[in-house]
Structures are given as C-alpha cells and as structure tokens.
Amino acid sequence: MLFPTPTFAIFFAGVLPLSWLLMRRARSWRVFMLGASYVFYGCWDWHFVFLLAGSTVANQAAACAIARAESPGARKLLLVAGVSCNLAVLGYFKYADFFVTSAHNLLERAGIAIPAPIASTALPVGVSFFTFHAVSYLVDTYRGEIEPTTLPKFAVYLSFFPHLVAGPIVRPGELVPQLHRRRDPRRVDTTRAFFLIAGGLFKKLVIANALATHLVDPVFAAPEAHSSLELLMATYGYAVQIYADFSGYTDIAIGIALLLGFRFPKNFDAPYTAVSLQDFWRRWHMTLSRWLRDYLYIPLGGSRGSRLSTYRNLLLTMVLGGLWHGAGWTFVVWGGLHGFGLAFERALGERRGRRREPSAAGLVWRRLLTFHVVCLGWIFFRADSLSAAAGVVAGLFSRWNAPSPLVTAGMLAAIVAGIGVQYVPRSLSELGMARFSRLRLPVQGALLGCTLALTAAMGPEGVAPFIYFRF
Amino acid sequence: MAAVEHAGKRVEGVAVEERRLRPAGHAVVIVATALLVAALLGARGLRKTATIQEPGVRRDLALAVSRPLEGLTHAVLLDRPRALLKEALGRTDDDRVATAILLPREPPRHKATQRPRRPPALPTPVVTRAHPLHVWIAGDSLAVAPGYSLTRLGASLPLEILPVEGRVSTGLERPDVYDWFARIGEVAPQLRGGVAVLVFGGNDDHSYMTGLPAGTSIGVFGTRSWIHEYARRVGGVMDELRRAGAHIVWIGLPITRDSARNARYELLNRISADAASRRKPWVAYVDTYRLLADAHDHYADYRATGRGQLVRLRAPDGIHYEEAGADLVAQRVIDALRRSFRFRR
C-alpha cells in the first residue's frame, strides 16, 4: 500500500479514529495496530507477512536470551548469533543474486562450466529497514541500554506501518517507551503533521515524479545519446529527485505517526545546504547515519585509535553503507567516495587545527563544493553500471554543442525549487505553522484538502514506487 | 480548550509564534474534512482511477462512489479548478475515459480460393545523418527498457529517436485506461517515412475489453470473438501507421516466469505475428519469446554471454527486462531496421 493513493487514504481514515478510540485499552490497541500494520504490509505480497512475523518472534527470543544470559561470553555469543541470523536473511534476499552471478563468473573463469541458475529471489519490501530495527533491538539489549519488552510491544515496534517499509529508522529506545505510556489525546501536533504530509506528498508526486519521468530516467538510460547540458541537469535533477522522493516519504511517515500520537526522529535537515561531507551526513538520512555510527563505526573502533585507523573505519563504514543500498560496484564507489571524502576532510581539519569561522563567501564556496561532490556520488548511485556512470562523467565534458531538448523551463524550475526550498529559514515555516494552527477547524480541513487536490492534479497518472523501497 | 506548545519559542535565534496543539478528535475532523474536500475537487480523477481498475467488487464499489460524486461536482462546477489546472499543464486528456475507439477500416481479405499475393517489394530507403530515420518507441511498460536500450545502442546510427512512451498498465484492450488508438492517431502523421516500434499485449491477457463497437459483445479471453476483436485492434493500429507512411516494428511478448501467463502471451503473440505477416514488408515482427527463453525453451533469469559471463536478463518480477535483456531485444529491432533501411554515414 503506497502512501499517496486513495487506498491508503481510506485505510488511514479508518485507522486514525480507531487508534485513538482504542488507546485506553492498551492490549486491544496493540492487536489492532499489529493487524493494521500487517494489512498495510501484506498489500504488497502477503507471503512476506510471515517473514516479518517470523523475524519478530526470532528476534524477541534472541533479545530475551541475551538479557537472561549471565556470563558476558554467552551474551556476546547470543548477540553474534542473533545479528548473524538477521544479516543472513537480509543477505539471502538482497545479495543472493550478486553472489550467484559472481560465483558463476568466477567458476567460469576457472574453466569450470556450470549451468546458469534459472530463477532469482524476489526482494521483500522494506526488508533492510525492519532488519536494521531488529539489529538495533538486539544490540541495545546487549549493551544494557534497554530491557527487552513484551512480544506484542516488540511486534508493534518492528512492524509499525508508518516506518515499516522505508524508515525513518527508529531506535527501540525512542519508540518502545512511547508504547508503554498512554499518549495524551488532548495534545496532538496536528499542524506539524499536516505540513509534513502535504509537503511530503508534493515533493514526491510533483517534483520527484516530474524530474524522473521527463529528465533523469531518459538521460541515465542512454547517456551516450544526450548532451553535456542534459547530463549535468539530469545529475542535478537526480540530486533533487532522490531528496524529494525519500525525504517526501519520511515526512509523510513522520506526519502520520504524529497524528497517531507518536514522535519519530527527524530524517532530513536541508542536506544540500551542507558545508562539508560530515555536515551532509548530519543532514541526510540522519537515522541511517546515526545507525551506521552507533552500530558500525563505533564498534569498528571509531576515532579512538590512530589517525589511520580512524580513516579506515570511516571508509569501511561508508563502503558498507553503500553496499547496504545494493549489491553492486556502483554502490561501493558511491560509499567509497563519501568515505574518502570524510577521511580527507578529517585529515585536512587535523592539519589546519582550529581556525576562525569561514567568511560568507567561504561558506558559499564550501556549499557549492560539497553539493558537487555529493552530485558526483549520485551519478554512481543512479547509474546501472560503472561503465554507464563513467559514460555520464565523460559526457559531461564532451558534448556541449549538442541540442538539449530535455532541459526545459519546467525541469529547471523543479531543480531550483528542490534546492531553494532547503534555504528557506525554519523560522518562516514555523511561523506558517503557527498561523495555520490558529485557523478554525473547517478552514484547516479545507486548506489541507485543496492542497491534496492540487498535488493530485499536478502529479502524473499513477504513482511511481519510492526509490528507497528497493533498499 | 486546545493546548498550546511552548517548545518552539525561538527557532534559529528568531522568536516565533507558538503553535497550538489540538485534541485527537480535532485531528480526525480535519482529516475527514480534508479528504472530503480533496475528493470533491478531484472527483474526475477519482472516477478515472476507479474506472481503470481490474473488474471486480473493488472496482464496482469505487465506481458506485465516484460516479455520483463526479456528477455532483460537475453540477456545482467544483470540477473546474482541476480541469483548468490540467489545461494549464497541457494534460487535458488525463481524466478522459475513452469509451469508443477509432480504427481504419480493415483491408479486404483474400478469398480462400485466391493465391495469396506476395507482398509488394518496397524500395529500401537510404538513411543518413543529414536525413535521419525518426523512430517512435511506444507501448506498455515492456516498451520502456528496450526503448532506452535502443536509444543507447542506436546512438551511433543515423536515428532520431523520439522520447520513449512506455505507459504502465496500458494496452489495446482497455482504451478507458489509456487511449492508445487516439495517441497513435496523433503521432502517425509525424512519422511519415519513419518507424514506430510498438510493444503491446503485456496487460491485454484478460477477458474484460472496453471500447467495443455499439451492440457488440465478446466472449472470455481466447474465444473466437475475443480473438477477432483483439486482432481487429492490432491490425487497426498497424494500418493507421501504415496509411501515414510509417514502418512498424512490433515487439512480441517475452516468455515469463509464470506458465499460465505464458500460455496467454503465446496467444497474443500469435495474433500480433499473424497481423504483422499479413502487412509485410511494412510491419516487422520481433519474436522475443524464443529470444529470451533458454536452450530448452524455458524461462531463464540469467544467460551466459559469449565470454562466459553470467548476466541477468529479467527483472525480479519475472516479466520485465533488465538492461541486458532489453539490449538483446533492441539489437533485434536494429536488425529489423537494417533489413528495411540502408544506413549510410
């Protein structure tokens, strides 16, 4: 079930009042919310509901065993076993194809002929996200940061439909306590929820879909057939598309959770205003950055060792973060580029030591540089293969005289709007929300309805899947 | 009395007004009002969304709600803002639900006693960079990947490839979902001397067909009446383009992971191949079913290349193409073009 569809609107129009009505009966609420979340997930492929349920039971058992184990060795063994099982499931669904083809090609090179495999594995929607949630639960239990909760509460935590398929990645310490206490039905931040939902829908349906359909997809599908200007605009276009698509989804998710009385962590904070790659990763997919930091970078040693080991840890974390997005060399290069960039920035900072704040011109220069390094990474992230990415990069310098029919005023406007909106001061949107929150209820409803109708009319026919669903 | 949030008094150093928090009941009322207003303003879109669903209870229910809603909003002019916006965006057809299709009359068939005439030999047009061949790739979602592959592989040839038009969930069976007959009628005059590369049928393996001539009814998928009507549509599309002076390359449907679907696709392929063979040399048929099957005519996700490297041909859904599979199809299309046109530098 996709958020921007009439089916979801009907689903949510039923879930919202029932959720509040059942709030006083905690057990009934959990059963209801678990059922609603499984219906939401089962709409893609009901077979995978069993995978989700199985993962829930197995991880709850592992977490309880970790909490009960007395010796540190046993606790560690149980944690390793639990995390390995989660990664094995993820690896099977996500990387089986990569391993099968790689093994086949390796054997072929060694002169061992084996028949080609017949069928591949279908990827369950959101498997990466619920696996990450489950790993968080096990590791936080092992570290003693949380106590295992009950199975029904953990089941709701893992499958809660607003975050289930594409995040944000909510730590158990953030969501499980909210399941324990009764939410206050008198204080719902409806205005912020509506702004997030309406803004998210507009970003996805209008900006991301238009850029994908009319510029990015045709150019990246056949880079050799396009001019340098089209390649450059498609690269900027993809930077805006992936931001609008993914931040749009998580904005809607956070808004829906807010209406149900839950607070999710922020996932994006104007990432293209970043003045360095480190700053970028504090603003882009913030919950994944945090997850990688806490469950990968720090366990690898973080910045506790020598300089070289810190750089190695940065590089490893980013390459593994790249591979999380998909099994392919393009993702390795994307992660590697960010890893090298972060290590380089760190080395530069250590060499220069503490300096005074950069000037306004210096900040503009840093923003431009960071944005273009990020865009270079996006070329590899978007391209189907390394050779295709190399074709895009080479084409950026070699075909400036060719015509550029795909670079239209509409596409330029979408790119400028997608980047420009990140420079709007937060105080302005806060002011807008404050004013909106004081309007009478029917006026609020009518304004929200008009925005939804406008977005639906401006969006293309049908809804393209969200980019992050395949991760 | 609604509560007030005090948390956001200063944002980025700027004093901002406080935001009122609302009771949950207010949230429900606002959501209900918003959905109602959005439904009224977008009733035409909702009706279209309901109409294009697969036949069944869900569609019936959606139509039962959206039809009167559309009538009501039309009566009180609430549909005007959406119509004006669509007009400003140049997308007036978005909400149109086609109920009839326009096809050229079928050319007379030869009597059984007559010897079939050999197709007329056409002069082979010469195509150069100065006078490139205009190519339009269109059809359902199976047109997208081969279309992009053709754009890429054909970059070194004297081809002027128009933007690929692959429309998800469309076909020749349901003009109410998308009216390809009208679209082809629009494009055909611009394709004189050019080529239309078409892919249809991927979503046409159902019994439900709209746009039937008045007073006509058809049987379920595969019956004589169904085949006759579908063949009329396929032939009509080919004739429309042929009359405009365009060549056609018709890409057949590929073998899929689902054997029941394969049986239906084979029937659709037979209809298209038959219509193409009767319109030679204007129409060339590209058989992708065998092209993408393995040595035993079975479905395969992967294939080893000439150098022994394993590549993935098919998307995880077992129907659509990955780039390598689409490249194979596009290469066959280029081969077909080379048979009909002489490419010169």
Residue B7 in this model has a pLDDT that exceeds 50: no
Residues in A touching B36 (Cβ below 8 Å): 445, 449
Nearest residue to A8 (alpha-carbon basis) of A33, A49, A36, A46 = A36
Residue A162 in this model has a pLDDT that exceeds 80: yes
How confident is the model over A379-430, as pLDDT tens digits?
Answer: 999 998 888 899 899 989 987 877 788 899 999 999 999 999 999 988 888 9
Q: Locate all alpha helices (DSSP H) within A143-285, ordered by sequence.
A: 151-159, 172-180, 190-202, 209-211, 217-221, 228-259, 277-283
Residues in B touching A101 (Cβ below 8 Å): 302, 310-312
Distances in Å between the Cα of A137 and the Cα atoms of A16, A23, A64, A248, A311 are 27, 24, 11, 26, 28
- The domain boundary, picked from A148, A180, A212, lies at A180
Of A33-37, B206-210, B304-308, minimum mean pLDDT range: B304-308
The identity of residue A203, as a single letter, is: K
Residues in B touching A457 (Cβ below 8 Å): 42, 45, 81-82, 85-86
- B263 and B210 in one domain? yes
Question: Peptide bond preceding B104: is omega within 30 degrees of 0, i.e. cis?
Answer: no
Question: Quick check: is A398 in a domain?
Answer: yes
Q: Average of pLDDT values for B70-93?
A: 91
Question: What pLDDT is stored for residue B125 in this prediction?
Answer: 83
- A208 and A90 in one domain? no
How confident is the model over A302-317, as pLDDT tens digits?
Answer: 888 888 999 999 999 9
Q: Average of pLDDT values for B56-61?
A: 90
Task: Report the distance separating Cα B152 and Cα B177, nearest Å.
Answer: 30
B121 pLDDT tier (thresholds 50, 70, 90): low
- B313 and B174 in one domain? yes
- A210 and A168 in one domain? no
- B135 and B64 in one domain? no
> Residues 331-360, chain A: which have Cβ within 8 Å of B?
none
How many Cα atoms within 13 Å fall on the side-chain side of residue B311?
18
Question: What pLDDT is stored for residue A199 in this prediction?
Answer: 95
Geometric angle at alpha carbon A310, from A304 and A316, rounded to 5°: 125
Question: Quick check: is B64 in a domain?
Answer: yes
Question: Quick check: is B7 in a domain?
Answer: no
Task: Report the distance separating Cα B326 and Cα B319, nearest Å.
Answer: 12
- The domain boundary, picked from A124, A153, A180, lies at A180
Mutate one of A23, A430, A469 to test the B interface: name it (highest B CB count within 10 A).
A430
Question: What pLDDT is stored for residue A354 in this prediction?
Answer: 63
Residue A184 in this model has a pLDDT that exceeds 90: no
- A131 and A240 in one domain? no
Characterize the bridge pairing of strands B10-11 and B14-15: antiparallel
Burial B44-72 (b: 16+ CB within 10 A, else e): bbbbbbbbbeeeeeeeeebbeebeebbee
A426/chain B closest Cα distance in angstroms: 7
Interface contact A188-B21, CB threshold 8 A: yes
Question: Quick check: is B142 in a domain?
Answer: yes
Q: What is the dihedral of CA B102, B105, B107, B112, to 10 degrees?
A: 110
Question: What pLDDT is stored for residue B51 in this prediction?
Answer: 87
Question: What pLDDT is stored for residue A1 in this prediction?
Answer: 81
Question: Quick check: is B101 in a domain?
Answer: no
Percent of chain B with pLDDT over 70: 90
Question: Quick check: is A288 in a domain?
Answer: no
- The domain boundary, picked from B88, B114, B137, lies at B88
Question: Quick check: is A314 in a domain?
Answer: no
- B50 and B155 in one domain? no
Question: What pLDDT is stored for residue A466 in this prediction?
Answer: 59
Q: Of the candidates B16, B82, B314, which has its C-beta nearest A457's C-beta? A: B82
Mutate one of A11, A95, A214, A437 to test the B interface: name it (highest B CB count within 10 A).
A437
Geometric angle at alpha carbon A140, from A135 and A141, rounded to 5°: 100
Q: Please pick, among A163, A325, A338, A372, the residue that the annotation labels catalytic.
A: A325
- A254 and A118 in one domain? no
Closest chain B residue to A454 measured between Cα atoms?
B82
Burial B152-187 (b: 16+ CB within 10 A, else e): bbbeebbbebbebbbbbbbbbbbbebbbbbebbbeb
The answer to whether A387 contacts chain B (CB < 8 Å) is: no
- B151 and B80 in one domain? no
Q: Average of pLDDT values for B83-108?
A: 80
Interface contact A16-B28, CB threshold 8 A: yes
**What CATH number has the domain bearing residue B251?**
3.40.50.1110
Mutate one of B26, B37, B70 to test the A interface: name it (highest A CB count within 10 A).
B37
Q: Locate all alpha helices (DSSP H) within A399-440, ordered by sequence.
A: 409-420, 426-437
Residue B251's φ and ψ, nearest 5 degrees, are: -90, 120
The answer to whether A361 contacts chain B (CB < 8 Å) is: no
Residue A201 in this model has a pLDDT that exceeds 50: yes
Q: Of the candidates B18, B49, B299, which has its C-beta nearest A434's C-beta? A: B18
Count of domains for chain A: 2
How many CB atoms sit inside 10 A of residue B75's CB? 9
Residues in A touching B292 (Cβ below 8 Å): none
Task: Report the distance separating Cα B35 and Cα B230, nearest Å.
Answer: 40
- Which residues span the domain enclosing A114? 6-180
- B66 and B135 in one domain? no
B4 pLDDT tier (thresholds 50, 70, 90): very low
- B81 and B194 in one domain? no
B48/chain A closest Cα distance in angstroms: 10
The answer to whether A435 contacts chain B (CB < 8 Å) is: yes
Nearest residue to A52 (alpha-carbon basis) of A202, A163, A210 = A163
How confident is the model over B254-299, as pLDDT tens digits?
Answer: 999 888 999 999 999 999 999 999 998 899 999 999 999 988 888 9
Question: Quick check: is B244 in a domain?
Answer: yes
Closest chain A residue to B164 measured between Cα atoms?
A218
Which pTM does this prediction carry? 0.82
Task: Report the distance separating Cα B96 and Cα B70, nearest Å.
Answer: 13
Average pLDDT in chain A: 89
Average pLDDT in chain B: 87
- B157 and B296 in one domain? yes
- A263 and A153 in one domain? no
Q: What is the DSSP letter of B203?
A: T
Question: Quick check: is A248 in a domain?
Answer: yes
The answer to whether A116 contacts chain B (CB < 8 Å) is: yes
Question: Quick check: is B338 in a domain?
Answer: yes
How many CB atoms sit inside 10 A of residue A212's CB? 21
Which residue reads 């279908």 in tokens?
A122
B295/chain A closest Cα distance in angstroms: 11
- A79 and A225 in one domain? no
- Range from A104-108, A217-221, A462-466, B103-107 that averages highest in pLDDT: A217-221
> Residue B303 in contact with residue B262, Cβ under 8 Å?
no
The answer to whether A186 contacts chain B (CB < 8 Å) is: yes
Residues in B touching A261 (Cβ below 8 Å): 24
Question: Quick check: is A338 in a domain?
Answer: no
Question: Quick check: is B48 in a domain?
Answer: yes
- A167 and A208 in one domain? no
CA B315 to chain centre: 18
Geometric angle at alpha carbon A268, from A266 and A269, rounded to 5°: 100
Question: Quick check: is B96 in a domain?
Answer: no
> Residue A445 in contact with residue B37, Cβ under 8 Å?
yes
Strand partners, B160: B134
Interface contact B27-A456, CB threshold 8 A: no
- Which residues span the domain enclosing B22? 12-88
Residues in B touching A409 (Cβ below 8 Å): none
Residue B8 in this model has a pLDDT that exceeds 80: no
Question: What pLDDT is stored for residue A106 in this prediction?
Answer: 76
- The domain boundary, picked from A126, A151, A180, lies at A180
Q: Average of pLDDT values for A234-250?
A: 95
How confident is the model over A422-468, as pLDDT tens digits?
Answer: 999 888 889 999 999 999 999 999 999 999 999 999 987 665 555 65
- B253 and B174 in one domain? yes
Which residue reads 């205003």 in tokens?
A273
How confident is the model over B206-254, as pLDDT tens digits?
Answer: 998 988 888 888 999 999 999 999 999 999 999 999 999 999 999 999 9
- Range from A145-154, B119-128, B289-298 that averages highest in pLDDT: A145-154
B331/chain A closest Cα distance in angstroms: 15
Q: What is the dihedral of CA A314, A319, A323, A328, to 10 degrees?
A: 170
CA A304 to chain centre: 28
The answer to whether A399 contacts chain B (CB < 8 Å) is: no
Q: Do the interacting molecules here have an ipTM over 0.90?
A: no
Count of domains for chain B: 2
- A255 and A388 in one domain? yes
Question: Quick check: is A290 in a domain?
Answer: no
How confident is the model over A72-99, as pLDDT tens digits?
Answer: 999 999 999 999 999 998 888 888 777 7
- A206 and A152 in one domain? no
Question: Quick check: is A335 in a domain?
Answer: no
- A141 and A64 in one domain? yes
- A381 and A254 in one domain? yes
Residue B2 in this model has a pLDDT that exceeds 50: no
Interface contact A224-B155, CB threshold 8 A: yes
Question: What pLDDT is stored for residue A254 in this prediction?
Answer: 96
Q: Residue A7 belongs to what H/E stretch?
A: helix A6-21
Interface contact B316-A121, CB threshold 8 A: yes
Which residue reads 């359902």 in tokens?
B140
Residues in B touching A431 (Cβ below 8 Å): 16-17
- A122 and A36 in one domain? yes
A163 classed as catalytic: no
Interface contact B33-A426, CB threshold 8 A: no
Question: What pLDDT is stored for residue A123 in this prediction?
Answer: 77
Return the biggest CA–CA distance within chain A. 76
- B18 and B163 in one domain? no
